[in-house]
Chains A and B, each alone.
Chain A
Amino acid sequence: MNADAGELAIDVRGLHKHFGDKHVVNDVSLQVRRGEIFGFLGPNGSGKTTSIRMMCGLLTPDAGSGTCMGYDIVRQADEIKRHVGYMTQKFSYWEDLTIRENLDFVARIYEMPERRALVDRTLEELGLASRAEQLTGSLSGGWKQRLALAACLLHQPKLLLLDEPTAGVDPTARRDFWEELHTLAARGISVLVSTHYMDEAERCHKLAYIAYGRLLAQGTAAEVIARQNLSTWTIEGDDLMALSQRLRGQPGVDQTVAFGAALHVSGRDGAQLETTLRDAVAGSSLRLAPADTSLEDVFIYMMGRSADNFGAQS
C-alpha cells in the first residue's frame, strides 16, 4: 500500500466520460474516507456504474484524475485491481463451477498464499460451507450475492466497490448483507456501495447522489437533507390523488409524493407552504401534520430539479 495514501480511500476529481455523444459522467468528484461506508445513489442510467468502473480501472476517464487506495486510477490500474474488491452489478461468477471452484479460481488468480485454508475459512465465515459443492448456476439470488461478496473479499482488499449488490435480493438477505458491511467497516475496510434502496442509504456513513451524470449532493444523510432546506407536511384522509393534483403548482408547493396512505408535500418556502396547505384542508376531513423531511423526499426533489436543468440536454 502507498504510504502517502493518507486518510482517503477514494479521492477522484472532475471525472468525465462520454459514450458516443452521450455525456454519461459529468464532472464527478468523490472523497471516501478510510473505514467509511459510502452510499452512491441515483436512478438507473445516471452514471453510477460508469463512475465505479472508472474508479477501479475498468474504464479510462475522458478527463479528470484521482486515486484509489493511493494508486492513480489511470496509470496504476493493475495495483488498484490487486488492492480493491469490485462486485459487478450483474452476477459475474462462473455458473458452471461450484461455489468452492469459483473461490478457488479467484484465490489462484490473486496468487493468495495458503489458498486451500483461505477458501475453507471464507466459506465458513460467509456461511457457504454447506453449499460449497453446489453449482453456482442453481443458487438463488441471495446466495449468489453472498458468493460474490466472498469472492471479492478473498484477496483481502482494503476497499470494496459494490455496484448495486442487493438488487433482486430479499429483505432478510439484504439485512444480513448490511450487517456484514458494517462488520467490515469496523475492521477498517472502506466501502463504496451503489443502491436504489432508501433504507440502505440511511445505513451509510456518507452519501452521494448522482443524476444525469452529475453529482447533486454529497455528505451525511443529515447534511444532504438540511442542504436542500425543504419543509415537509403529511396529509392523511380520502381522495389524496385528487388533492395532489390540485396542490401542484400552488404557491409554496414544490413537490407532492404519495407514500401509502399519506401524501408528502414539500417546499422550500416553509411559511408559504403552510398557508397553502392550511387553506387546502380547511373545512375538510383531511388531517395535516408537519413532518421531518426524509432522504426520499430530498432525492425525489433533486431528481425533479435536475431533470428540469440537465434532463433535456443530455
Chain B
Amino acid sequence: MKWRGFSVARWWSVVLKEFLQLRRDRITFGMIIGLPIVQLALFGFAINTDPKHMPTALVIADHSEFSRSYVAAMKNSEYFDIIGELPSEEAGRAALARGEVQFVLNVPAGFTRDLLRGDKPALLVEADATDPMATGMALSAVAQLGQYVARRDLTGPLATLRGGEPPFEVRVHRLYNPEGNAQFNTVPGLMGVILTMTMVMMTGLAMTRERERGTMENLLATPVRPIEVMTGKIVPYVAIGLIQASIILLAAYFVFQVPFAGSLIAIYLAALLFIAATLTVGITLSSLAQNQLQAMQLTMFYFLPNILLSGFMFPFRGMPQWAQYIGNVLPLTHFNRLIRGILLKGSGWADLWPSIWPLLLFPVVVMGIALRFYRRTLD
C-alpha cells in the first residue's frame, strides 16, 4: 500500500524493529512499567500537603483540669501527636532544635489561677517553622482550639468567663523562620536536589562510558583494583560538587537573603558528606547499567523518590510511615535536615548527629554493593 511515497510495509518494518529492540532492553522496559507505578504510589499515597499527627511535646508547669482538657483537644484535632512531657522550656527548645518534635506546648505556672482571676493568661505554642507548609494548618488550628475548650470547660460559676473575649490567649512562636518565608526552606533544600541530580548523573555515566568505548577491557587487563577505579573516578566530582554548593550558597545569601545561623565550616562538611554519599550512588548505578542510556534512566529513577520523599517538596511528617521509612534511607532527606538545621536553626554537632551518621553509613553500604557488581573479568 503506497500513499504519496509513504510505504506502509516500510513503516511497519520500522515499528517491528523498535518493538524488538525495546523488548531486549530490560531496564527501559522495567522503567516503562515501574515509573508509573512508583509515581502513582508516591503522589497518590505518600504526598500530603496538610500533614497531621506531628510530634508534639508538652511542658506543663500547671497541671489542672484545664490543661488536660486543652491537650485532649489538641489530640482530637489530629494535627498533634503528643509524644511526652518535658521538664522545662529549655528542654522543649532543645527537642525542637534536634528536630525530634515539631511543636511544644508550654502551660506556664499559675495558668489556672490567673485564668480564674480573669487575668487572661497565655498558653505558648512553639513551632519549628523551617518548613512553613508543614506547620501552617496546625498553627491556625491552635487558636480555634482555645475558643472551643473555653466554651466547653467553663461551666457553672465560671460561665461568666465565657463571654465574648476568650479568657486566655494562645501565643504562637514560629521559631527559625518567623515570617514563614517559603524561600528560606526551599533554597537550602535546592542545594541537595541540584547536587543529587548532577552528581548521580555524571558518575552514572562514568563506568558505562568506559564500557561503551571498549576501554573497560583495557582497564581490566591492568593490575588496577576495582576500589581504585571507583573511588578514583569519584574524586574529580567531589571538587565539582563543592563548586556547585558554593554557587548555591552565594545565591542563597545574596539573592534570597536566607539567614546563615550556623557555621560555614559545618555547611561545607555536611555538603562534603552528602556529595560523597551521592557519588557512590552514581558509581553503583553506573556499574549496574549496561550503557549510558540505562544509566540516565536509573538516575531519573533514583531522582524521583529523592524529590518527593526527602521533605524537599512536601512536608516529611505529612507522609505515611512507610514513605517515611523510605525517605529515611535517602541521603537527601538527611542532608535537607542538616542544611536547614545549620542555616536556619544554627544547630550544633550534637543536634545534627542523628542526620550525620546515616550519611556516613550510606556510602559504605552502597560502595559495598557497587564492588560486588564490579566484574573483574569479562564473564
**A92:B378 contact, CB within 8 angstroms:** no
Q: Which of A90, A91, A92, A109 contacts B224 (CB 8 A)?
A: A109
Residues in chain A within 8 A of chain B (CB atoms): 53, 56-60, 77-78, 81-82, 86, 88, 90-95, 106, 109-110
Number of A-B contacts (CB under 8 A): 45
Q: Which residues of A contact B218 (CB under 8 A)?
A: 88, 92-93
Q: Which of B213, B215, B216, B377 contacts A59 (CB 8 A)?
A: B377
B222 contacts the other chain (CB 8 A): yes
Query: What are 15 A-to-B residue pairs whose CB atoms are below 8 Å?
Result: A53-B378, A58-B220, A58-B221, A60-B377, A77-B376, A92-B213, A92-B216, A92-B217, A93-B215, A93-B218, A106-B222, A109-B222, A109-B224, A110-B222, A110-B223
B65 contacts the other chain (CB 8 A): no
Q: Which of A58, A94, A110 contacts B215 (CB 8 A)?
A: A94
Residue of B nearest to A106 (CB): B222
What separation, in Å, do the CA atoms of A95 and B224 have in the docked complex? 20
**B224:A86 contact, CB within 8 angstroms:** no
**A57:B377 contact, CB within 8 angstroms:** yes
What separation, in Å, do the CA atoms of A26 and B102 have in the docked complex? 69
**A92:B223 contact, CB within 8 angstroms:** no
4 tightest A-B contacts by CB?
A: A92-B218, A86-B221, A90-B214, A92-B214
Query: DSSP majority for the A interface?
Result: loop
Q: Which residues of B contact A106 (CB under 8 A)?
A: 222
**A88:B377 contact, CB within 8 angstroms:** no
What separation, in Å, do the CA atoms of A60 and B378 have in the docked complex? 9
Q: Which residues of B contact A56 (CB under 8 A)?
A: 221
> How far does the Cβ of B323 sit from chain A's closest Cβ, in whole Å?
41
What separation, in Å, do the CA atoms of A60 and B217 have in the docked complex? 14
Q: Which residues of A contact B377 (CB under 8 A)?
A: 57-60, 77
Q: Which residues of B contact A92 (CB under 8 A)?
A: 213-218
Q: Which residues of A contact B220 (CB under 8 A)?
A: 58
B379 contacts the other chain (CB 8 A): yes
**B214:A81 contact, CB within 8 angstroms:** no
**A109:B215 contact, CB within 8 angstroms:** no
What separation, in Å, do the CA atoms of A110 and B377 have in the docked complex? 18
Chain B, 207-247, contact with A by CB distance < 8 Å: what is the 0/1 string?
Answer: 00000011111101111100000000000000000000000
**A88:B214 contact, CB within 8 angstroms:** yes
What separation, in Å, do the CA atoms of A178 and B216 have in the docked complex? 27
What separation, in Å, do the CA atoms of A81 and B223 have in the docked complex? 6
**A82:B214 contact, CB within 8 angstroms:** no
Chain B, 193-215, contact with A by CB distance < 8 Å: what is the 0/1 string?
Answer: 00000000000000000000111
**A81:B378 contact, CB within 8 angstroms:** no
What separation, in Å, do the CA atoms of A88 and B220 have in the docked complex? 11
Known A88-B217, A88-B218, A106-B222; 13 more pairs at CB < 8 Å: A53-B378, A58-B217, A58-B220, A59-B379, A77-B377, A82-B223, A88-B214, A90-B217, A92-B213, A92-B216, A92-B217, A94-B215, A110-B222
